Every structure is written in C-alpha cells, then in structure tokens.
C-alpha cells in the first residue's frame, strides 16, 4: 500500500508554519509498513485542492488530508472532497453533541458556523476529536481510501494514533509488523554515546538504532521489522541488552517517559513526600511536578525565592550565609533544602539556586548552579553544575539534573 499526504492551508504556503503533520504521519506510516511517495501542500482553494486530489489518486492508494476542517469560510477540505467524490455531507449527531457540550461547558456562545464542523462525508467512519471540535473521517471508495484529519497538531496527532492508524491497519492484507522502543539517557552527550556504542551502530540492519539529542538528553530508537510482533520485540530486546551493557549507567527510562515522571514513580512507590525551594528555576520544578495528576500526595508545597529577601523571608536562610557565601553557593543550596524540608515536614527537600543568565551574578558566570538535596536522617548533599545553554535552557537543564540526582540518590 502506498500513501500521499495532502496538507491543506494557506498558512503553510505563506511560510508561517512548518508542516510537522506530514512528518508525524509519514513516520507513523513507515512504522506500519505503508510507503509514502509524495507529500503535498496546497492552499485553501477549491480548484487547486481538487486538482491535487486527482493527481494523488493517480499515484496513491491512500490519501490523507490534514487541515481545513474548521468552522470558518476558508475551511473547505471536506466540501471539496465531497463534491469530488459525489458524496453528501451529513450531520454527525455525536460530533454535534460534543460541539454543543463544549460551548455549554465553557459558557461561550455557539455561533452558527460552528455547526459546520459536525458535517461529515456520508458513509465515512467518524473519528471523535478529543482535543478540539472538528471530527476526523475515513472514507473508502472502490479504488482509494481517504482520511481527513484536523490541522492543529495537538488535535491531529492523538486522533491519528488512537483511530487513524487502526483504521488503516484494518484495510491491509499482510502487514509487516514494526515494533520500536526508545531508550532514554541523561548525563551523556550524543557524540560520546555514539562513540561508546559505535560497534553496534556500524553493524545495524534489523533492528536499526537511531540516536537523537534534545535539551540535554539523548535517546536511541530501536526499530525492528518482522511478520510477527513477538519476533520483532525479541530482536529489539537483544539489541537493547547489548546497548545497556555498554552505556547502561546513563539509562533512565523507556519511550515517552521523562526524568520527572520517573522521579514521581519512584517517590510514589516509596510513599515519600517532597518540598522545594526554587531560586533560578523560579517554580519550574514544581510546575512540572504539577503536570501529573494525584501529585498532591507527594508534593507538599514550596517556595519561589527568586530574590535574597525572599530566601530569608520565606525559607529562613540566614543573612550571614548570603553575606558570606552568596546566594549562588553550596551553603545557600544546603540551607534552602534543609529549611524547606523542615518547614513542610517532608521526607525530602530539594533546592535550586544559581545564575540563569545571560549576565553573571556575584562573580559567577551564567550557568553556575547549585542543587541541594536534604533527606530526613541523612546528610544533605549538594551538586554543582556548570551549564552552557541559554537562560531558559539553563533553567530547564537544572530541573532535569535535579530529577536525575534525586533518582540516583533514592535508587
């Protein structure tokens, strides 16, 4: 089976946004053994879209559209496809109810043009939109199948993963199973990791091993093809074992996990509580913790002590400590962690103090950071960092290092 992806939207042709949808869908299709030979972008224009459909029908079995399903006048993807196929547009009751419910819930006035979003191709399988209003569709004609997905990536991606991919798999005869697994590493650079496992990278065929670096982390995606899923997974496990025997000490988790998620898992399994005092990260560690539902049994609370005054007022850091050693110091990190733990009566106290940048502070260059980890009945530990990223990059990395050191301390 081969597919063409048609992204519809003038904002793409004006260069206002980049077509991440084509990349996402292409990658997912590659994983289930569907070939993508063409990606096309066309504007919100009836005639040009129609021509693009006709061209795609000559060279692809499956045509996947993204964009142009919204409520406004320039959204005309489904109208154009319906006219081209000679299929009626009918109101999907479920979609209409979900749109109405959305407006009732948010107490906003539903304008008439929003009803348009509940129109679907007659006879199509309808995909609910759990992150927006426009539903997706899958329509099978004699020679082709057509999938219509919304344009915003945060609506399209979950919809494709939950409904789109499965709908395509159902139309395939003997699909090759593709399995993949991502190994996540922290505390090692990409080039260093690649050098360490060069022997494995050189001989890779099936499975393949693809390294990727971002924001201080490195991942390895292992991908194996086989007619049997079980066999593909067996191939992956073999390679994983070899990789971990060489660089396992930097490994921290699989697939879509994060350092924060692993930390929360660990704290939760140990029934431990935590409190935080954040200076340069100014709430970022706690804000990330707050992303996880049910975290109130772990995160008792904390302070954002961006200024020296707040370090004294909110966490009782001694004036002498600040005068003698400065805010960016081992001593300050230690007091912050110990005091916030005592104040909130938790098992752990963690602190972040340092220079986010771009300017130096107290004679310390941007990127100088101290992390403190206090634990009940144990000696407080402090960790110095010398980061070299942007202001925000330094803050993001500080949070990751905080998670990493705490995981190591507790494991």
3-state secondary structure of 168: helix
Least Å distance, CB 260 to a second copy, is 12
Q: How far is the CB of 411 from a second copy (least distance, A)?
A: 24
- Tally DSSP H helices, then E strands, for the chain: 16, 17
Instruction: Report which secondary-structure segment, H or E, holds 85.
Output: helix 77-85
Q: How far apart are the first and last CA of the chain?
A: 47
CB of 89 to a second copy, least distance (A): 18
- Alpha helices for 89-222 (secondary structure H): 93-106, 153-159, 165-170, 190-196, 198-203
Nearer to a second copy, 227 or 307 (CB): 307
**Nearest-CA neighbor of 7 among 90, 142, 17?**
17
Contacts of 64 (CB under 8 A, 6+ apart): 3, 4, 5, 6, 25, 146, 147, 149, 164
By C-beta, is 27 or 408 nearer to a second copy?
27
Of the CA atoms within 13 Å of residue 346, those in its CB half-sphere come to 28
Q: In whole angstroms, how close is the CB of 204 to a second copy at the nearest point?
A: 10
CB of 87 to a second copy, least distance (A): 25
- From the CB of 206, what's the least distance to a second copy, in Å? 14
Q: Which is nearer to a second copy, 74 or 378 (CB)?
A: 74
How near is the Cβ of 57 to a second copy at its closest, in Å? 13
Distance (Å, whole) CA 327 – CA 305: 10
Instruction: Kindly tell me which of 356 and 371 has the beta carbon lying closer to a second copy.
Output: 356
Least Å from the CB of residue 15 to a second copy: 3
**Dihedral sign of CA atoms 227, 231, 237, 242 in order:** negative
172 vs 191, beta carbon nearer a second copy = 191
d(CA 305, CA 339): 13
Structure-block tokens of residue 32: 């289930």
Distance, in Å, from the CA atom of 373 to the CA atom of 5, rounded to the nearest integer, reads 50
- Least Cβ distance, residue 168 to a second copy (angstroms): 15
Place of tokens 């996990």: 257
Distance CA 95, CA 93 (A): 5
- Rank residues 300 and 375 by Cβ distance to a second copy and give the closer one: 300
Q: Which is nearer to a second copy, 10 or 171 (CB)?
A: 10
- The whole-angstrom separation of Cα 161 and Cα 309 is 49
Nearer to a second copy, 122 or 386 (CB): 386
Which lies closer to a second copy via its Cβ, residue 225 or residue 330?
225
């Amino acid at each position: 089976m081969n597919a063409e992806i048609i992204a519809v939207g003038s904002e793409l042709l004006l260069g206002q946004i980049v077509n991440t949808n084509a990349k996402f869908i292409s990658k997912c299709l590659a994983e289930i053994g569907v070939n993508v030979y063409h990606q096309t972008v066309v504007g919100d224009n009836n005639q040009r879209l129609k021509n693009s459909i006709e061209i795609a029908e000559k060279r692809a079995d499956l045509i996947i559209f993204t964009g142009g399903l919204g409520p406004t006048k320039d959204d005309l993807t489904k109208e154009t496809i319906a006219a081209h196929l000679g299929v009626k547009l009918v109101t999907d009751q479920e979609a209409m109810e979900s749109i109405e419910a959305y407006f009732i819930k948010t107490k906003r006035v539903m304008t008439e043009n929003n009803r348009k979003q509940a129109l679907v191709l007659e006879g199509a399988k309808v995909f609910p939109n759990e992150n927006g209003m426009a539903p997706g569709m899958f329509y099978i004609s004699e020679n082709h199948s057509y999938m219509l997905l919304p344009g915003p990536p945060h609506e399209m991606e979950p919809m494709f993963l939950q409904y789109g991919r499965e709908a395509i798999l159902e139309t395939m005869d003997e699909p090759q199973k593709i399995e993949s697994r991502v190994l996540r590493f922290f505390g090692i650079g990409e080039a260093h990791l690649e050098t360490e496992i060069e022997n494995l990278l050189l001989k890779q065929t099936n499975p393949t091993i693809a390294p990727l670096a971002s924001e201080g982390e490195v991942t390895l995606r292992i991908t194996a093809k086989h007619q049997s899923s079980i066999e593909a997974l067996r191939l992956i496990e073999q390679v994983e074992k070899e990789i971990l025997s060489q660089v396992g000490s930097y490994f921290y988790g699989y697939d879509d996990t994060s350092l924060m998620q692993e930390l929360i898992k660990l704290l939760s399994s140990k029934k431990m509580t935590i409190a935080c005092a954040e200076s340069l990260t100014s709430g970022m560690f706690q804000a990330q913790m707050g992303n996880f539902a049910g975290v109130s049994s772990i995160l008792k609370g904390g302070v954002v002590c961006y200024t020296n005054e707040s370090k004294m007022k909110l966490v009782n850091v001694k004036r002498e400590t600040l005068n003698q050693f400065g805010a960016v110091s081992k001593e300050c990190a230690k007091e912050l962690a110990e005091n916030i733990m005592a104040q909130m009566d938790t098992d752990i106290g963690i602190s972040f103090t340092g220079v986010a940048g771009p300017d130096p502070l107290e004679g310390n260059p941007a990127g100088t950071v101290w992390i403190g980890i206090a634990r009940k009945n144990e000696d407080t530990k402090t960790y110095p960092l010398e980061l070299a990223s942007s202001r925000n990059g330094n803050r993001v990395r500080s949070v990751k290092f905080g998670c990493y050191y705490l995981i190591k301390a507790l494991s």
